[in-house]
Structure formats: structure tokens, C-alpha cells
Structure 1
Amino acid sequence: MLLATVGSVAVATIYVGQPVLVQVGRDLGVPEANLGWIVAAGQVGYLIGLAGLVPLGDMFDRRRLIGGQLILAAVGMLVAAIAHSLWLLLVGLVAAGLFATVVQTTVAFAADLSPPAERGHTLGVVTSGVILGILGARVSAGGLAALWGWRSIYVTLAVLLVVLSIFVLKLLPADHRSDRRTYGEVIASLGRIFREPLFISRGLIAFFLFASFGTLWSGLALPLAADPWQLSPAQIGLFGIAGLAGALGAGRAGRWADAGRANAVTGTALGLLAASWMASGQATWSLWLLVVGVIVLDFAVQSVHVSNQTLLTAAYSHQTSSVIGGYMLFYSLGSALGATATTTVYSTSGWTGSAILGGSLALCGLLTWAISLRRPATRRRDVFADHGSVRVGATHDEG
């Protein structure tokens, strides 16, 4: 639960700005078409951290890494809180995003601490914490902004990050390493992973998954703040509660993965993701259909995400930090695409255009999954699927 809480608060640093984009833009004089860059800034920092910082988890004591990165993320939040220009706000958000990659170090640590037969369940719990952070950030951000302004959001997160760093250093077990690889060796091993078919297919699924996710949550404040609704940031933030219901409903995704149903869960959830946009796309005239769409979308995203990570940590159990960091590069690129594209599309085609974009991205993820099922296993390190079950390290002859 501590690791889940760390993931929840750390990831919130990237997403808390979404329900208050209009308020921040008005305060700092940012045009509507450029508001997506406020969200994308955190994703850019996250992208850099995934490639450069997360692999350190395969080298050093992850307890100390997690504690230190939480402190540095807090510094980024404080910079964002005092920013009186767009460029300084973006600097603070990029810095916070860079060290928010502590989430992936936390996920990898949780996977290694868990018995193999319970790894999916453990990842489901920790990933639920992360999803709660992504969605709960919207609820809390809207409320804080209504009471004390948008800057109070970043101050609050900075305090929480510092408090959590203390708990981490006091309560988590030490993470001693018997093998001492160099940074170059760790990066080289990550490069080899990028040639593995399993990794590439799951990474591309994550790219389209979170691009669709980002399309909804980075752009939703725009139609809700406009006519006919004209909702306040606090009211917009309440839609995160619907997302929380969907994410929690997918809490059993880890159990399903442990039972060998990861592939079936992935395909079904991607189909639901695409279908959710038929409801979410009606946000300009029906808030109830929007709520249904939000619940289904977040259920689907959580289910696919847990299944992906369960398969990858089982296949690459000797380098979980590197494989999770590499996988999340696709997540970050997809989220950044969704954040920037949805505001641009909305400015020209309205929410209908954003819904078509989100649904198309979901269908691309479903197509990627379908193609991956047809891939012949020809590499020694492939993970073989037999009715969804996972067998690691099978030989070429078995393939």
C-alpha cells in the first residue's frame, strides 16, 4: 500500500493541471490552442526520465532512489507553484515529470518483492494506486483550485512528496544488489529489449492506449467549461470520480493475468476502449453518457495496462526496472500525443473531432493486439501464449 501511495502521488504531479487548464491559461495569458503544452510538459520530462533514470533501478538500492526522486519531484512542484510566466511553469512541470518516473521504479520494486504466482495481483494493486493518482488528481485539483487557486495544487503535492520520501526511507526494505552492472551495460540491455517482438507489441499497444486516454482527460475540460455546461474547475474535477470507479472495477485485472488470461483481457478491454468513445463523444449534450464513457474507458485502460506489465515483468524478471521504463516510454509518447492533439483538434473540429481521434487511437491499439497474435515465436527469449498462459524462456524448437 505504501508503494501504491507513492505511485499515486508521484503520477499526480503530471495530471493535476488538466481540470484547471482554462484557469491557468487565463492567468498566464496562454491561447486555448496551446493549453495542451502545459500537460505535455510533464510528459516530456517523464519521457526523458524513463530513458535516463528508470534503468538506475537495475543498478542501485531502489529504496534510496525512490526517496531521492520524491524530493526532487517536490522541487519541481514548488517551481511550478511560484511561476508567473509560461516558460517557468513549463520548467517546473518538466522537472517534476522527470522525477515522477519514480512511479516506474516503484512498480518494478513491487514486482520483484512479490512471489511470482502473485505478481499480477501485486502489480494490480500498485497500478491501481497509480490510476487513482491520475484520476484522483483531477478531483482534488478542482477542489483546491476553487478554494485557493491553481497554485495551491502544486504546493500541496510538494508537501505530500516530501512526507512520502520520509516514509519510504523509514519503512521500505533495503534493496541490496549482488550484481553491479555499469550504466552503459544497463542501457545496452534496454536497447536489446527494444528488438524483442513481445516488448514492441506491448509497447505499441500502450502507445495507442494512453494516447486515447490522454485525448479524453487532457481535452475534457474544454467542452465542459464551454456552453451549454460552463462548469467550474471543481465541477469538472468531479468527473474523475467516474474514472476512479472504472479503474477500481478493473482491480481484478492482475488476478486474471495470474490465471493466464492476459491476452484475452487485453483484446476485450481494447474493444471496450473503442466503444467508450461512442458515449464520451456525446459530452456536448449528455453528461450521463459522458459518465458512462469515462467509467468504461478507465476500466479498459487499467485492465490492459496491468496485463501488459504482468507479461513483461514475467518475461524479463532479471531487469524489471529497465523493461518497465522502456515500456513506459511508449506510454509517455502516447500521452503526450493525446494531450497536444486533442486541444488542437478541439480548436478546429470541436469535441466531435476529439472523440473521433480518441476512438481511432483505440482501434489502432486493438489492431496492434490482433496482429501480435499472429506473430510466430522465433526468438529464444519469447514469451509463449497458450490460451493466454505465460511460459518464459522456451527454446526455438518449442516455438
Structure 2
Amino acid sequence: MTGTNTVTPTATSHPTSPSTTTSTETRTHARTRARRDGPPTGVFLAVVALCTAVTAANIYLAAPLLNLIAHDLGVAPSAAGWIASVAQLGYAAGLLLFAPLGDTADRRRLVGALSAAAAAALVVAGLAPGLPALGAAVFAASAATVVPQLLVPLVAERAPAARRGRHLGVVVAGLFAGVVAARVLGGLAGQAYGWRAVFLGAAGLTALIGLATAVLLPAETRPRTKTDPLTALKGIARVPRVLAASAELRSACLRQAGMYGAWSALWTALALLLTGPGYGMSTGTAGLFGLFGLTASAVGPLAGGLVDRFGVARVVGFAYVLAAVSVPLFWLGGSWIWALCAAAVLLHAGLMAGQVANQTRALTATASPATANTAYIVAAFIGGAAASALAAPAFGHWGWGGVCAVAACWLALGWLGAAGRPGRTARTARAARGARTR
């Protein structure tokens, strides 16, 4: 074993000298200690999953409240549909600005600052006098609600390689639990207390849970760097380079953009279908339909285990099969409630399986997991925002069948766009990273 006592004066300047090796080992051990610091694994995963659920819910608060917002602000329900797209675009913008900082910044401070900013923006949303002000506040709140994507790479770093998929599955399950809460509890609370109370309540919860999570995060040993006002822009600049270097990352991005776009189109317009003349449900009753999202929360840990056992490619293929079967069932659901229920179960199961598998692929594709995760989530949310933006006009012009057509197109684009074989770059990066940590 190489040690400091073997260093000779002539070897210190050689690029492969024992002192350099010792320095590298010291940095590796420091990173390992940073990963192991903090609460026990079970507590850590529970805290991260709860914070992920609370913050992720903010992106979807408006969707079940569109009718209430439209009625209160004196506009047509279809005219308020763009608020859901604004939330997703805001989230994508926040990911580009803040998520790459997870590779370099102190995540404790970053999580705390972003949680406080998101809470403040939600308060503004709850007090908004009109749609433009509401859209701006929702955009800002969603941009600051990138905390889950700062925590996911931390989970991947701390997890043993053999259980990484399971750990990520727990966190992603928390994310979808937040989506369910936003739709179910948001719809019920909106009907009982008004849509403004929902945003104000979410602000308080975000501040409480986000700041508590920041306090409980493990300490990280990272080299101190000078404060650079262009750090965020440099983080954005890294994203294209990381994407260009990894075909496997590009595949994960395209596949999840297609899957998430299909889900967003259907779920954005679903409240319009259920509260429309066909079904005539109240906002609260329509929100209960979000309970089918619990399917995703249940599938998350299972999907992580399948990824660990069978690999990413098989799980992604299975996820797309489930989503493809759900689309014609959704179309039948325009008239038959049983088909709508079955389609919701299948689509959520497919979305969760695809999310866990594709995100596992993205996080292990390069040596910069936070930047790779940024590219992955931004791609998914751009796909979702674009599909959501088309869903409301499609519903207005062609009804529920038009929304189902948008979802089918997004699935086809996501699958065919990533049909090529992943390249060797990501495998090489993983092998190198594995060698460094051994």
C-alpha cells in the first residue's frame, strides 16, 4: 500500500507520484465520509421522501383548481389551462439555474434558500388579483421547487450500488405521493375553502418541511471555492456538454419526455373532462380521481428492485407497454368510467416504472450526476409542458379524443426518438467512476 512515508523528494513533482495518489485517496475518503455522515439510512430516506412529496406537490396545485380559478377570475376554464404549463416551464427553468449547483454548492443552504423562496412565491400566488399575476407567481414558485432534484443525486451517492434502484424508488414514490396529495387534497380543500387557501397552505407547509429538511441533511465535505456570480450560468453551460458526451443520457431524456408528456396531456385535461357535461363531477369529487396516483407510489420501490435485477432497458420497455395500452382505454374513458379507472392505474404504473428506470440510467451515465439529472428532468418537463399546452386547445377543438391523440403522439415520439443503442461513453464513465471509488 502506498503511504506518505514512501514519498521521496524527487517523486513529488511526478504526475503519478505516491503523494499525488495519496492526495487523490484523501479526497475520495473525504467524499465517502460526506456520504456516510448524517442520519441513518432509513431516517434519511424518510425525510427526503417527505420533502420531495411536499415540494413536488407545488407544481401540480393549479391543475385540480382550474375551474375554481377560472370562475373566481372571470375567465373560461380552457383559458386558465395554461397555468399548468407555466408551472412545468417554471420547474424546467429552475432546474437549469439551480439543479447543476448540486455538484458544487452546499446543498443544506441551497435547499433552505429555495424552500423559503418557493413559500414566498406561493403566498403571492394565493393573493394574485388576476391570471397574469397568478401565472408569474406560479412560475416563480415552480422554479424554486427544484429541491427534489437536489436530493435525488444525494440519495444516489449514499446508496450502495446493489440497492441504488430501490433507494431511488422510495424517493420517486414520495414525489408521486406529493402529486396525489396536490390533486386529491388540493381539490377537496379548494372546494371547501377556495383555491387561494390551497396556495397559502402550501406555502406554510413548504417553508416548514423544506427548512427542517435542510437542517437534517448530512454534512458534505466539499472544497471551498470563490463565490462566482456566473456559477448558475456555468452550470447551464455544462448541461449541453454532458448531454453530447452520453448517448445513454440522451436516451433517458427522450424516453421520459415522451412518457411524461403523455401523462401531462391526459392529466391536465382530465379535470375538464370530469367536471364537464359528460360526467358533471364537482371539483372535489374530480380531485379524488387522483387517488389512482397511489398506484405510482406503490410501484416505485418495486420498479427500483426490477431495475436492480433486470436492468434499465427491460423496465423502460415494460413501462412503455403499460402506457401504450392505457391510451385507448383513456379514449374509451370519455364515455365509460371503468375504462378511465383502468387507464389511470396502467398509466401511473408505467410512468413510475419509466421514471425510476430512466432516472437511474441518467444518474449513472456520467461523472456529473447533478448536471445529468438536470438535463434529464428538464427534458421531461419540457415534454410535459409542451403536451400540457396542447391538451387544453385539443380538448376545446376535438374533445377528449384530441387529448388522447396528443398523448399517443408523445409516446411515439419518445420511443422512436431514443430508438438507437446507447453509446460507450456512459459505460466508460461508470467504469472509471467505479474504479475511483474502489
Q: How does the TM-score come out when normalised to structure 2?
A: 0.83
Q: How many residues align?
A: 383
Distance 1:68 1:48, change over 3 A: same
Write the letter of the residue equivalent to 2:330: S
**Structure 2 counterpart of 1:322:** 371
Question: Is 1:254 paired with 2:298?
Answer: no
Q: CA deviation at 1:382?
A: 2.7
**Structure 2 counterpart of 1:158:** 203
Write the letter of the residue equivalent to 2:268: S
Q: 1:372 aligns with which of 410, 420, 423?
A: 420
**Structure 2 counterpart of 1:178:** 223
Q: How far, CA to CA, are the matches of 2:278 and 2:81 in structure 1? A: 22
Q: 2:258 aligns with which of 202, 208, 211?
A: 208
Query: Where do residues 253-292 of structure 1 align in structure 2 (5 Å cutoff)?
Result: 253-292=303-342
Q: How far, CA to CA, are the matches of 2:382 and 2:362 in structure 1? A: 19
User: Aligned with 1:42: secondary structure?
Assistant: helix
Query: Where do residues 303-318 of structure 1 align in structure 2 (5 Å cutoff)?
Result: 303-316=353-366, 318=367
Query: Where do residues 107-186 of structure 1 align in structure 2 (5 Å cutoff)?
Result: 107-178=152-223, 180=225, 183=231, 186=235
Q: CA deviation at 1:98?
A: 0.6
Answer whether contact 2:100 2:235 (CA < 8 A) is retained: yes
Which is greater in Rg? Answer: 2
Distance 1:9 1:269, change over 3 A: same
Distance 1:361 1:226, change over 3 A: same
Q: CA deviation at 1:222?
A: 0.8
Q: How far, CA to CA, are the matches of 2:135 and 2:278 in structure 1? A: 31
**Structure 1 counterpart of 2:90:** 45
Question: Is 1:192 paired with 2:236?
Answer: no
**Structure 2 counterpart of 1:397:** none
Query: Where do residues 373-392 of structure 1 align in structure 2 (5 Å cutoff)?
Result: 373=421, 377=423, 379=424, 381-383=425-427, 392=431
Answer whether contact 1:209 1:301 (CA < 8 A) is retained: yes
User: Aligned with 2:363: secondary structure?
Assistant: helix
Write the letter of the residue equivalent to 2:113: G
- Deviation string 1:235-257 (CA, Å, 9 cap, x unpaired) is 01111111212441343111111
Answer whether contact 1:13 1:157 (CA < 8 A) is retained: yes
Name structure 1 gaps, 5 residues minimum: 385-389, 395-399
- Deviation string 1:291-330 (CA, Å, 9 cap, x unpaired) is 11011001001101110111121222x4221111111111
Answer whether contact 2:249 2:361 (CA < 8 A) is retained: no
Q: How far, CA to CA, are the matches of 1:356 and 1:247 in structure 2? A: 27
Q: CA deviation at 1:81?
A: 0.4
Answer whether contact 1:215 1:358 (CA < 8 A) is retained: yes
Answer whether contact 2:174 2:297 (CA < 8 A) is retained: no
Q: How far, CA to CA, are the matches of 2:172 and 2:362 in structure 1? A: 14
Q: CA deviation at 1:391?
A: 6.0
**Structure 2 counterpart of 1:340:** 389
Q: Percent identity?
A: 29
Write the letter of the residue equivalent to 2:373: I
Answer whether contact 1:274 1:360 (CA < 8 A) is retained: no
Q: How far, CA to CA, are the matches of 1:354 and 1:192 in structure 2? A: 35
User: Aligned with 1:315: secondary structure?
Assistant: coil
Structure 1 runs, 4 residues or longer, greater than 6 Å off: none
Q: How does the TM-score come out when normalised to structure 1?
A: 0.91
Name structure 2 gaps, 5 residues minimum: 1-45, 434-438
User: Aligned with 1:220: secondary structure?
Assistant: helix
User: Aligned with 1:285: secondary structure?
Assistant: coil
**Structure 2 counterpart of 1:18:** 63
User: Aligned with 2:413: secondary structure?
Assistant: helix
Question: Is 1:302 paired with 2:352?
Answer: yes
Distance 1:88 1:194, change over 3 A: same
Q: How far, CA to CA, are the matches of 1:246 and 1:382 in structure 2? A: 28
Q: How far, CA to CA, are the matches of 2:361 and 2:87 in structure 1? A: 27
